[in-house]
Amino acid sequence: MRSRLALHCRDANPLIEALAGPVETAAIGRGRLTRSVDDHTVVVTDITFVADEGYLERSATHLTLRPEGWSPVCRQISLAGDVPVLLHTHPNGSAAFSARDDTFDRTVGAELRRTAGSDVVVSVVVAGTPAAPRFVARLVTADQFRGVDVIRIVGDRVDIHLPDDAAPLRDDVHDRAIRALGKRGKRTLGSLRVGFAGAGGTGSPAIEQVARLGVGEELVIDNDVVTASTVSRGYGTTLNDLGRPKVDVVAEHIARMGLDTTVVALNQDIRTESSRLALAQCDVVFGCTDSHASRIVLSRLAYLHLVPVIDLGVVVANTAGRLNGWGRVTWAAPGAACLLCGGHIDPQIAATESLDPTERRRLAAEGYVPDLDEPAPSVIAYTTMVAAEGVAEFLDRFLDLHSHDGASETLLQLSAHKKRRSKPHPRTGCICNEPIQWGTGRAEVDLDLLWAS
C-alpha cells in the first residue's frame, strides 16, 4: 500500500511560518480519505491551531495538550466521517517523530477510535525553519504506524516532501538528467505518480517523455483501441496492434524500455467512478483527451482532490493548401482558472458526449446536437510539440526551474513558430473561485450527467 497526503499552500504556509516561533505549535486539520485498491490519499483542509489554553506543556522541544485542546475538534471531524489530522512543529528540529510523539499518537488514536469510530488518524510533523521546512507524516491505526510516502503541497508550484528512505536513484541511466535537474529533483520525479487521461496523439508522447524522466509510476486511462490511423501519431503502436486497447500497447512499450517506471493501465472510460478514485491517487494528471465531458471530470478533480491537471489541446486545419496548427497547455489547480472558465469546455458538447451513442447519432441526424463522429485532422509533429510543452510545464511546476510569470496557460501558433503565455480568470461562483470547496473530495460533477455507468 502506498499513501499520500495533500495540502493547499494556504493551509501549509501558516504551519511553516510557525517554525519561526520559539516553541512547538500544534494544530488539527480535517482530512478527506480517498481509497483506490491499496492506495490511500488524505487531503487536509480546515486547519485550526490549538489555543494557548489547550496546552499543558509547551517548549522548544516538546508539547503536551490538554484533552480539551484536541478532543472536541477531532471528535467533530470523526463524526462527520472525515479523518482527524494532528499536526505539530519541530522548530529548528528534525523531520522525525519522537518517542513522546509516538505515545501521544497512540493515546489519541485509541481514544478517537473508541469514541468516534475512526479507524485511522493522520499525524504530521513540520520541521526545520521557514526558509527550509520539512514535512513528514504517518497513518496511525490500531496496530501500527505507517509512513506516508509522498506529501504534496499545491499552489502555483507543487512542493513535494519525501521521507528520508525514498527510493535511490539510477545514476547510470539518469546521469544527464541529474546533471540538469539535480539529485533532489530526480528523487522527486522518482516518487511521483503521474496520471494520463488518454493515450493517443498527445497522450502517447507525453507518457513516453515522462517515463524517460524516471517518474516512479504512470496511470494511463483510455477506453479506445488502436486503429490504422493511430499508428501515424501514437508512440509505441504498430500495425500489428490493430484492435488492441491503447493502454495495453503503451504499457508494453514503456515496459520494454527497462527503466524504473511502473505503468498501471486502465482500459475504461475516464468518467467512471473507479477512474476518479484512481486519478485521485495521482500527484498530477495530464489531460490528453479531446472529450469535453472528460475535461469536466479532470477540471473538478484538480480542485476537489488537489490533483493539478495539465491539459493539452491541439487543433489542425488545412485551408487552401496551407496548414495551420494551434496548441495549448493549461495548468488547472487551485489559484488558477479551471478549464471551463478558460473556455476549453463546451457544456453542450459535453452533454452530447454523455448520451447513448445510438441516441446521439439520431439526434445529430435531426440537428438537435452536434455531430461528433467526424475525425479531426492530426499531425504527429504538432501533437508531439504540444506534449513536450506540457512535460516542460510539469517539470517547471514540480521542480521550480524558472521564475514564475503568473500565467497558467501557454498558447502555441505551431505553424508560425510563435508562443505566448496568458492567465484566464476564474468566474464568480465557479469551483475554481470558491476556496471553501478546494480539497473537499466530493464526487458530484456538474450537470449530473458525466459519470458513465
- How far apart CA 191 and CA 162 sit, in angstroms, is 8
Rounded to an integer, the average pLDDT of 58-65 is 92
Residue 200 confidence (pLDDT) above 80: yes
pLDDT band of residue 448 (cuts 50, 70, 90) is very low
Q: How crowded is residue 169: how many other Cβ atoms within 10 Å of its Cβ?
A: 18
Alpha carbon distance 304, 445 (integer Å): 10
* pTM of the complete model beyond 0.75: yes
Q: Which residues pair with 410 in a beta bridge?
A: 329, 421
Task: Give the domain 3-161 fold.
Answer: Cytidine Deaminase; domain 2 (3.40.140)
CA 68, CA 58: separation in Å to the nearest integer? 15
Average pLDDT over residues 424-445: 84
Domain at 175-448, CATH class: alpha beta
pLDDT tens, residue by residue, 144-165: 899 999 999 999 999 999 988 6
Using a 10 angstrom Cβ sphere, with 0-12 exposed, 13-18 middle and 19 or more buried, the burial of residue 302 is buried
Across the chain, mean pLDDT equals 88
Q: Give pLDDT, residue 362.
A: 57
Give the pLDDT band of residue 166 (cuts 50, 70, 90): low
**Which residue ranges make up each domain of the chain?**
3-161, 175-448
Give the separation between CA 280 and CA 43, rounded to whole angstroms.
10
Q: With contact defined as beta carbons under 8 Å apart, do 310 and 393 qualify?
A: yes
Residue 357 has a pLDDT of 63
- Given a cut of 80, whether residue 56 has pLDDT beyond it is yes
Q: Which helix (H) or strand (E) holds 387?
A: helix 380-399
Place of cell 510523539: 101
Q: 114 in helix, strand or coil?
A: helix
Assign 374 a pLDDT band (cuts: 50, 70, 90): low
